[in-house]
Amino acid sequence: MDKTGQTQVIGIASGKGGVGKTTVSVNLAVALQALGKRVMLFDADMGLANAQIAMGCRCPYNLSDFLSGDKTLKEIIVTTRQGVRLVPGSSGRQEMAALDDMGAARIVQAFSSLEESVDYLIVDMAAGISPSVLSFMAACNRRFVVVRDDPSSIADAYGTIKVMIQDYGLDEIYLIPNGVGSAQEGFQLFERINKVCARFLNRSIRYLDSIENDEMILMAHKKYQPVLEFAPTSAASRDFRRLAKVTAQLPPDLEASGGLQFFVERWVKTIS
């Protein structure tokens, strides 16, 4: 536990799918864990739950067992070989793709009954800007938006940021350019997007860190391993370690309350 004894909840979003949310969530979780933090990763991408695949983790149960009422949240959580506490999502279940508000609220409330404390709860969001995704994002302390340097990813990232700011009044929005040629290119992408935010939303967002394009990520995925495990000396692994350091250096959000209870309190605040 860090000195403040608070859990920091980080939501990872993108707007568009396939830009690297799960890759960033999984490797950030693994890298923070390696820094000695206690990390829980919540795979909230109901339609395409693949954090467990990316971590090479066998999960006897998953979120659908929780939503059906067969298992408690505690019963579905596993510890991955990297030491991360994983709340596994369910994959390929049609009814899971669109999580309704009731299901989302039940999930969030169940976190309050968890007695374990963690330093970070990382939430790997579903693509898109459905009300449940946005409510999850609102319940987090910080929001990390993953974006690639291509027109549709940029448009969707901006659209997500716009809704978070204008409709939900959220701040603490950080950009993570992914799949870039260099950190400098990543920062330039941030500057382009931030300019649009400043001009049209009258608000600025923050730069966090960039992840280079690295085929080792794809090779690692084929081996059911996070790249940090598969190729620790790769450029991507270097970037994810740096991302974890930068994340750990962010000042704790003072609004956070102890343990995982905050998730509930913040959630209730946004839906009421």
Ligand X SMILES: Nc1ncnc2c1ncn2[C@@H]1O[C@H](COP(=O)(O)OP(=O)(O)O)[C@@H](O)[C@H]1O
Residue 156 near ligand X by CB under 6 A = no
* Binds ligand X (CB under 6 A): choice among 8, 22, 33, 80: 22
* Contacts with ligand X, 178-197, as mask; x by CB under 6 A: xx------------------
How far from the centroid of its chain's Cα atoms is residue 134's Cα? 13
Q: Which residues pair with 147 in a beta bridge?
A: 177
Whether the CB-CB separation of 240 and 209 falls below 8 Å is answered with no
* Contacts with Mg ion, 18-57, as mask; x by CB under 5 A: ---xx----------------------x------------
Tell me how many residues contact ligand X (CB under 6 A): 17
Closest CA to 213 of 187, 248, 183: 183
Residue 135 near Mg ion by CB under 5 A = no
d(CA 37, CA 11): 17
Instruction: Give the other-Cβ count within 10 Å of 53's Cβ.
Output: 16
* Contacts with ligand X, 199-218, as mask; x by CB under 6 A: ------------x-xx--xx
The stretch among 12-20, 66-74, 114-122, 194-202 that binds ligand X (CB under 6 A) is: 12-20
Q: How far apart are the first and last CA of the chain?
A: 31
Alpha helices in 10-50 (DSSP H): 21-34
Sign of CA dihedral 120, 91, 24, 192: negative
Pick 18 or 131: Cβ nearer ligand X = 18
Pick 38 or 221: Cβ nearer ligand X = 221
d(CA 53, CA 49): 8
Which chain residues interact with ligand X by CB under 6 A? Answer: 14, 17-23, 178-179, 211, 213-214, 217-218, 221, 236
Which chain residues interact with Mg ion by CB under 5 A? Answer: 21-22, 45
